[in-house]
Structures are given as C-alpha cells and as structure tokens.
C-alpha cells in the first residue's frame, strides 16, 4: 500500500480536490434524512403545507449540490487513477529496460507483461474506487453513527453490536481474500505465458500439427485461472451477504423495538432507519473496496518486485578506452541450473580482430558473447575491455558501444527505416541507407514499392527470414559499435550473400572487434582466429589452419561439413 500511497501523493492536489467534492456529496447525503425527519415531525404533523414545500425545495437544492459534488469527484478520481496508472506503467517500462537478462529470466517475461498490464489495472481500479467510495463510505458511516448516537442514544448498544460483527467480517474477508487474489494473479501469469508461447511459435505449432497439445495446455491454464477467480470471488460472495444480514437484522430489531415501545416522534424513527440503511450501504461498500484493496495490494507487491529489482551493478559514468576483450578464467551458470554453461574460459581478442566461434549446439557460444554486454554477469572470473573489469563500468556506456545481432532477428511493427534506426536514433536517412547497403539489404528494400518506408508487421511477418536477418544486421551496423557480435545471424543467408555481408563488415572503417558465431565452418573460416567450443569449454583457439592441425573437435566439424573429399585433398 506504501507504493500506491507514494504515487497518489504525487497528485495530492487533485486527490484533495476530489475529497473536497466528496465532502459536499457526503454532507448532502447526511442532511437529507435529518431534513426529512424535520418535515415529517413538524410540517406533516401540523399539516403545514407551506413548510413542507419550503423544506422540500431546500432538500432539492441540497440534492443538486450533492449531484454536482458527485460529478466533480468522479472527474477528479478518474483523472488521478488514470495518471497514476500511466506513471506506474512508464516507471515499470523504464525499469525493465535497465534490467539484465538475468533479472528478466528470473521475473519471467510473461509475468512482467501481466504486471505492467493487469496488476497496474487493479491498482488503478483501487485508486479510482478509493476516491469515489473509500472515503465516502467511512465518512457517511461515521456521520450516520454520530447522528444515531446524538438523536437516539438508546440505540447505541445495538449499533456497537452491528459495528463489531461487521468489522470482524470485513477483516476476515480481507485476510482470506489477500492470499486468494495473489494466487489469481499468478494464474494469470501462467495463462499469459501459455498464450505468448503459442503466439510466438504459431508457425511451428501449425507446421507440426501440434494444435491439440497447445489447446490442452491453454485449456489447463485457462481452467486454473477460472478456478482461482471463482475461489477469490467465493470469499467475497460469502462475506458480503453476511455483512448485509448483520445490518438488516439491526434494522429489523430497531423496528421491532419501536413496535413494543412506540417513539414519540415518528420522523426520528424514519431518520434512524434511514441512517441505519446508510450504515448498511457504507459497510457493504467498505467491504467491497476492501476486496479491491486486497487485490490491489497483492498487485502492488508484484509491481514493487520489479521496481525494487537490482539491475546489474552500475558504477559511475566513467568513460573507458576501447581495446582488447579479455576473458580470464570465466565460468558461468544460469540461475536455477546446476550445470555450468561456461567453464574456465580464457582468451583475448585484440582490437580490430575478428574472432570466429564455432561448436555444437548448446556448446555455450551465445552465453559467452552475452557476458560481454553484461546481459548476464560471470559467476566467476573477470572479463576486461581495454584492461578494465566490465563490472566496474557503467552498464549503459558499455552497451552503447556494443552491437549484438541475435540469432533470431527481432523486428518491430513499424517501417524498415524505423527498425534500422533503432541502432542509432540520431542517424540521418543516408546513414540508415549506408547501413542497409553494408548489410546487403539495400537492394531488396529498394525493390519494395514503399522502399525504406515499407511497414513491417509485428515480428517482421511480411519479409523473409534472410531479409529479416539483413535488416537486423543493418541495425547493428548503424550503431557503429566498438564491438560487433554476430550471433549466428547469417544462418538464413545463402553462401554468396553471407560472404558479401561479412566482406562489407570487414571493409567498414574503424578498429572494431568482431565476434562471429556460426554453425558453418565456411563462415568462421574467414575469421582471424577461431574459438572451438564444446560443453562450455574452449577446446581449441587459433587460425583455421592451426585448428585443423591441432583441434580434434574442429577437425570433426570441418570434415562433417566439407566432406571426405577435403580429407583426401589434405592427405595428398
Ligand atoms: P546454439 O548453437 O544452439 O545456439 P549455443 O552454443 O549458443 O547453442 P548456449 O545458448 O550458449 O549454446 O547454451 C549453453 C547452455 O546453456 C545450454 O546447455 C543451454 O541449455 C543453457 N542455457 C542457455 N540459455 C539458458 C537460460 N536462459 N537459462 C538456463 N539455461 C540456459
């Protein structure tokens, strides 16, 4: 709740304006029964029509004030809750951007999506509700209690019984509800995860005719979400009628007592019943908003978890010089796994050098390069750039000098130009085109009717795999990085195009260090030196020729790809 209060505090002005209008509305509500009691006990009893009309008009006027108060209060409440929601989402979004892959793996992307969308919506609902009802209900309740106490003190014992029982029921409802709403949000995470996986892999699902399995997984997640929803709603459904019943029994007891001992003024009895009804509604509303509070508090806890997540440690904004990339006895184990993905990695890449990385699938190639921009931090050992431990560098500065073109080209909805420009927002169109040319993408882009203005669907659905990879490489080049990492991102290109792209990258000005991961020996052969990896370890390091002589793993890959013909040629 502290988190919600902190965000509401930023809009204290609007919040208190809402409270002001709420006070007008509440006062109008509380005045009406008192006026009515006066009209009945004086105007009606004495058959004074003039007085009835005068007070009737006054009651109308008060009702009009109340209505204006309600409208204004609603406007203020909506503005504040929407603004709080937007600010919370923006803060979450910015925070997520600063997190490392390690943080994101731990929090899980589907859960992050639920927290940014649904959890914030729960908080928004509560903020809105609290300004509309939360304040009004207790104030009305308190006002009504005071009036009952002043006007009919003999009803105090019964009032205490009603308030104690109802208060106890509201607390029990909150205590049980909190856990259930927490579970409900977790089930929503799970449902989002299944939907996300299905949508991302829809082509594969269709290709392998795995719709039935996916349907079963979705059905299971949707079923669990529905069950959790029913369980949470059942708590409210159990307690709300009990609270209503308590207050209604109080009203029945009040009327019953008046039948035994008729009151002197019938108007006072009417006012008392009216106030009891107001107490009933207020308690029912308090119980409702407490449900929302419980749900919002569970959601706020989940939102806070992201906001309080510690991103990779960032130390100062110090600049550093680019040079070699050195791994010194680096080992790494993913969180939640026991087997190291990398073990005792030591090598040095010199400025301007191209380092090829090859090895069987799962060898640790991608993991190794992801440690350079600190997407993950090494479990042990040190990585230095220009002689400096990267853990001592500012993560933002470090990443601004590194382009990592991932295995799977990630394109966003928007034009091709916008997608490439992600590499460097300030680049001119000429620079975007230059990057396109270097990535051998310019020709096919200029072949589209809208050229660089061609709009890509989400994930780049309207371009081929090879075209996506070239757009993604162009984005990486546009940044003009000091370190360029190409993580198997030329796999969908034919051999000639791949050779052309790599040649262009070599020719680019600047003394950049390039890491070139590939499963294809023909690709890494072009590198200055090659790391041959297996089971998270470096099995060999050297030029193509050196490895062919000394590294059995490299020889095995070479002969399996180039074939026995090459083996014979070598023997000759
Ligand atoms: P490929 O050529 O198939 O891309 P790779 O050589 O790049 O493989 P990595 O992706 O680095 O291999 O994976 C190395 C090991 O780490 C594998 O055993 C993999 O299962 C594991 N691994 C990779 N990513 C994660 C992760 N996010 N969480 C846990 N384990 C992971």
429-438: Cβ within 8 A, 24+ apart: 431/478, 432/474, 432/478, 435/474, 435/475, 435/477, 435/478, 436/471, 436/474, 437/504, 438/474, 438/477, 438/501, 438/504, 438/505, 438/508
Dump pLDDT digits (tens) for 132-178: 666 677 777 777 778 777 777 777 777 788 778 878 887 887 778 77
551 in Cβ contact with 559 (< 8 Å): no
Of the chain, the percentage scoring pLDDT greater than 90 comes to 23
Tell me what pLDDT residue 261 has. Answer: 65
Query: What is the mean predicted confidence (pLDDT) over 47-63?
Result: 85
Q: Is the pLDDT of residue 569 over 60?
A: no
359 within ligand 1 shell (Cβ under 6 A): yes
Tell me what pLDDT residue 327 has. Answer: 94
Highest mean pLDDT among 71-85, 157-171, 527-541: 527-541
Query: What is the mean predicted confidence (pLDDT) over 497-512?
Result: 82
Which two three-digit tokens encode residue 284? 């029912």
What lies within 8 Å, CB to CB, of 152 at 6+ separation is 263, 268, 272
User: How far apart (Å, rounded) are the C-alpha atoms in residues 71 and 62?
Assistant: 14
362 within ligand 1 shell (Cβ under 6 A): yes
> DSSP states of 138-165 as a string?
HHHHHHHHHHHHHH-GGGHHHHHHHHHH
DSSP-derived secondary structure letter, 390: G
365 CA to centre of ligand 1 in angstroms: 8
Query: What is the mean predicted confidence (pLDDT) over 329-350?
Result: 92
User: How far apart (Å, rounded) are the C-alpha atoms in residues 285 and 133?
Assistant: 7
Q: Is the pLDDT of residue 443 over 80?
A: yes
Q: How confident is the model at residue 7 (pLDDT cuts 50, 70, 90)?
A: confident
Which two three-digit tokens encode residue 330? 């680096």
Q: How confident is the model at residue 300 (pLDDT cuts 50, 70, 90)?
A: confident
Tell me what pLDDT residue 49 has. Answer: 81
Q: Is the pLDDT of residue 103 over 90?
A: no
Query: What is the mean predicted confidence (pLDDT) over 243-248?
Result: 78
User: How far apart (Å, rounded) are the C-alpha atoms in residues 322 and 349?
Assistant: 12
102 CA to centre of ligand 1 in angstroms: 13
Q: How confident is the model at residue 536 (pLDDT cuts 50, 70, 90)?
A: very high
Number of Cβ atoms within 10 Å of the Cβ of 269: 20
Angle at the Cα of 259 from the Cα atoms of 255 and 262, rounded to 5 degrees: 105
Tell me what pLDDT residue 314 has. Answer: 44
Q: Is the pLDDT of residue 565 over 80?
A: no
3-class secondary-structure state, position 45: coil
Residue appearing with tokens 């600010």: 87
Q: Please tell me which residue, 35 or 448, carries the higher pLDDT value.
A: 448
Average pLDDT, the chain: 82
363 within ligand 1 shell (Cβ under 6 A): yes
Protein residue with least CA distance to atom 23, ligand 1? 367
307 CA to centre of ligand 1 in angstroms: 28
Query: What is the mean predicted confidence (pLDDT) over 205-225?
Result: 78
Question: pTM of the full predicted structure?
Answer: 0.60
Q: Is the pLDDT of residue 373 over 50?
A: yes
Q: Is the pLDDT of residue 254 over 80?
A: no
Which two three-digit tokens encode residue 280? 């009933």
User: How far apart (Å, rounded) are the C-alpha atoms in residues 115 and 306?
Assistant: 9
CA distances from 20 to 24, 66, 304, 420, 443 (A): 7, 12, 30, 52, 65
Residue 103, Cα to own-chain centre: how many angstroms? 13
361 within ligand 1 shell (Cβ under 6 A): yes
Q: Is the pLDDT of residue 311 over 70?
A: no
The region of weakest confidence among 122-131, 251-260, 395-404 is 251-260
Which two three-digit tokens encode residue 342? 């990398």
């Amino acid at each position: 709740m502290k988190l919600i209060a902190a965000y509401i505090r930023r809009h204290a002005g609007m919040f208190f304006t809402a409270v002001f209008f709420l006070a007008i509305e509440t006062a109008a509500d509380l005045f009406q029964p008192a006026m009515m009691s006066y009209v009945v006990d004086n105007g009606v009893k004495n058959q004074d029509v003039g007085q009835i009309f005068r007070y009737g008009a006054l009651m109308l006027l008060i009702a009009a004030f109340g209505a204006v108060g309600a409208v204004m209060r609603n406007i203020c409440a909506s503005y504040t809750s929407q603004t709080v929601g937007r600010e919370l989402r923006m803060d979450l979004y910015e925070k997520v951007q600063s997190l490392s892959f390690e943080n994101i793996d731990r929090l899980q992307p589907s859960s992050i999506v639920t927290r940014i969308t649904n959890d914030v919506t729960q908080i928004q609902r509560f903020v809105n509700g609290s300004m509309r009802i939360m304040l009004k209900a207790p104030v009305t309740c308190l006002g009504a209690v005071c009036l009952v106490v002043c006007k009919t003190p003999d009803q105090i014992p019964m009032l205490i019984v009603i308030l104690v029982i109802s208060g106890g029921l509201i607390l029990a409802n909150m205590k049980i509800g909190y856990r259930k709403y927490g579970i409900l949000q977790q089930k929503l995470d799970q449902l989002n995860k299944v939907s996300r996986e299905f949508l991302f892999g829809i082509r594969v699902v269709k290709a392998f005719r795995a719709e039935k399995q996916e349907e079963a997984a979705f059905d299971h997640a949707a079923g669990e979400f529905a069950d959790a929803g029913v369980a949470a709603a059942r708590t409210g459904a159990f307690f709300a009628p009990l609270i209503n019943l308590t207050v209604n029994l109080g009203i029945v007891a009040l009327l019953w007592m008046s039948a035994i001992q008729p009151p002197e003024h019938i108007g006072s009895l009417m006012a008392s019943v009216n106030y009891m009804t107001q107490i009933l509604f207020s308690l029912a509303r308090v119980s409702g908003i407490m449900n929302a509070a419980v749900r919002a508090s569970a959601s706020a806890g989940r939102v806070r978890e992201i906001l309080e997540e510690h991103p990779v440690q960032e130390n100062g904004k110090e600049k550093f010089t680019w040079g070699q990339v050195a791994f010194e006895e680096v080992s790494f184990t993913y969180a939640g796994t026991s087997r190291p993905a990398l073990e005792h990695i030591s090598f040095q890449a010199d400025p301007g050098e191209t380092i090829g990385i090859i090895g069987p699938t799962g060898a640790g190639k991608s993991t190794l390069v992801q440690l350079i921009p600190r997407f993950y931090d090494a479990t042990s050992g040190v990585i230095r750039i220009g002689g400096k431990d990267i853990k001592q560098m500012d993560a933002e500065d470090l990443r601004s000098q590194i382009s990592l073109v991932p295995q799977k080209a990630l394109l966003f909805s928007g034009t091709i130009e916008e997608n490439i420009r992600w590499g460097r927002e300030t680049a001119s169109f000429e620079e975007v085109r230059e990057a396109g040319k270097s990535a051998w993408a310019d020709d096919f882009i200029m072949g589209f009717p809208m050229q660089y203005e061609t709009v890509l669907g989400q994930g780049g659905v309207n371009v081929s795999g090879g075209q996506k990879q070239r757009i993604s490489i162009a984005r990486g080049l546009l940044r003009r990085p000091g370190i360029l990492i190409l993580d198997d991102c030329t796999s969908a290109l034919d051999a000639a195009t791949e050779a052309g792209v790599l040649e262009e990258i070599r020719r680019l000005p600047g003394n950049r260090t390039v890491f070139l991961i590939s499963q294809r020996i023909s690709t890494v052969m072009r590198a200055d030196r090659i790391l041959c990896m297996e089971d998270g370890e470096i099995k060999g390091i050297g030029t193509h020729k050196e490895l062919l002589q000394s590294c059995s793993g490299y020889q095995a890959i070479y002969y399996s790809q180039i074939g026995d013909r090459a083996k014979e040629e070598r023997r000759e």
